[in-house]
Amino acid sequence: MPELEDTTPEDGPGPPVDDDAAEANEEDDDKDDPVEEDPAEDDREDDTPATDALLLPFEPEEEPVAAEDAPADVTAWEDDTGREDNDDALLLAAALDEPVTAAELPPATEEPPLEDPKDEDDDTSPGGDRLVQPTNAARAHKTIRGILMSCSPLWAGHPCLATTLRHATTTLHQCASSCCPAGQPSGTLHLGSWPSMRPRLASMVEPSMQRVRIHSAGGYRALRLETVPTPAPSPGSVRVATSHVGVNYADCVVRMGLYASAKKYVGWPITPGFEFCGHVDALGDGVTGWNVGDAVLGVTRFDGNASHVLVPAHQLWRLPEGMTAPQAAGFPVVFLTAHYALHVLGAAKAGQWALVHSAAGGVGSALLQLCRAAGVHTVGVVGREDKVDAAKSAGATHVLVRTATPWWKAARRLVPDGFHLILDASGPPTLRHAPALLRPTGRLIVYGFHSMLSMAGGWPNPLALAWGWLRMPRFNPLDLTGANHGVLAFNLSYLFEEGAVLRDAMTQLLAQHAQGAIAPLPTREFALQDVAAAHRALESGTTVGKLVLRA
């Protein structure tokens, strides 16, 4: 199995720090250079503006450094936005009024204490320049937190804040040993070195997300895992931190470059994925009815295979009681597809007969459940003998194995008067038998062509594609009129403009779930970085139910 390429850059671990030596040095410094207390210090008023007090979760013990009072070696620099600014350096100077050494920073694997330090020392470099160091882990931890809060108010209450603080602490460990100017003690952060530290700390300031990315059509190696900044929600949209995301056969077709709506709406590069489950992470302007932390499931037109998803608020629903996160991530697409085919296009009624192809797959299993709930009798067709039990448990009245006997003859014997509905996602081999199996007023509903995509290493076989195209049935309107048959087809990815249709369908489906009429499908989980393995499994034709990725 090919490994998924992770494009996230990694820095090596910082050099080891001798904690005993650092403590001994501090004790010597205490003996040689006793600190004189300022008797007026306790009475001094804090002139820091109220906004700064909100940005930094502690009060600095010295006045903030004004721009004109900044050390000579702290000069303005131009960042990647083109603006000249040394506000970040001044913020750090105001927050870090004492030295910190690498030995004093907390290890990345432990949560640093948040108590305020009791005793602090002041120090300067041999040239008289200010050294930017707090004396213990608490000061370093609080300072990083303050910088994060000042750069983005979205960090307040952010579920990833604790993890990001640990990563930022690790980065400070590395910077303390590699960014200090020549002649300074190793492990000392100097204010003048802040411009060189800034790029390394920038990744800690902005929340980041992971996503599956496809840059061009290909096999499994075309799937890449990328780490990018987490976007803020636009007005009317909601950002969801996903726990699980669904995998559908459509994602495989997107990867192959054969999904028409992917070309129409996105192009390359693209992140596949249509469904997810998680919790509300941030709200755009004007969003009502949702709160940060709400557990949700939802749908999106692409961009779903990611740790964070941005969607319009109306494409979210509350996580139903009794439904697990993996089940919820695999619920929307298959049941919305089945509902639209059966009830919107098929207008199914109790007592009718339906022929369901790929009956043990995701949509097929959902169709069988919805047919049973509606009182519709079903004949399910599966591709392998070991899938018969799965189709029966989903509600099939009868199950036929496509490769065992001429299934179309067996289906005619079971329902001699013909089927009211035929629901097909297989393609030419099954479509060509549909007219003979439909009764008058019967409807053929098409929502896929899986059989045309014979796989070899994740790539469709071009000969199979050509042969399938040549064998594709052509339905003559004159013949359809004479037989009183209907042929209908659809693709769920083109229905997002019909928001009311999706919302009404999902409302009905969740109500049926609450009543116990339908249930989530059996779910198999993969890690997000194992998305290639999930695609391979789905294309093998051996899976039952739904596949999801742990985000």
CB 276 within 8 A of CB 304: yes
Residues 196 and 225 in one domain: no
Residues 463 and 381 in one domain: yes
User: What is the spatial distance between Cα 310 and Cα 313, in angstroms, rounded to a whole number?
Assistant: 9
Q: Considering the entire predicted model, what is its pTM?
A: 0.66
| Domain range for 233 | 216-331
Q: Residue 300 sits in a domain of what CATH number?
A: 3.90.180.10
The full 3-state SS of 12-38, as one line of letters, equals: CCCCCCCHHHHHHHHHHHHHHCCCCCC
Residues 116 and 236 in one domain: no
Consecutive 10-residue runs of the chain (551 residues): their mean pLDDT?
42 43 47 45 40 32 40 34 38 40 41 36 38 44 58 52 55 50 45 49 68 95 96 97 97 95 97 98 97 98 98 97 97 98 98 97 97 98 94 97 92 97 95 96 94 74 85 93 96 93 96 97 96 94 93 93
Residues 407 and 379 in one domain: yes
Give 460-499 pLDDT, tens digit per residue.
778 888 888 888 999 999 999 999 999 999 999 999 999 8
Residues 368 and 446 in one domain: yes
Residues 351 and 322 in one domain: no
Give 308-357 pLDDT, tens digit per residue.
999 999 999 999 999 999 999 999 999 999 999 999 999 999 999 999 99
Whether residue 195 is contained in a domain is answered as yes
Residues 348 and 316 in one domain: no
- 41, burial (CB in 10 Å: exposed 0-12, middle 13-18, buried 19+): exposed
Residues 369 and 278 in one domain: no
Domain count, the chain: 3
Residues 361 and 391 in one domain: yes
Let me know the angle formed at the C-alpha of 287 by 285 and 291, rounded to the nearest 5 degrees. 110
Residue entry with tokens 């070899």: 456
- Tokens coding 47: 């002139």
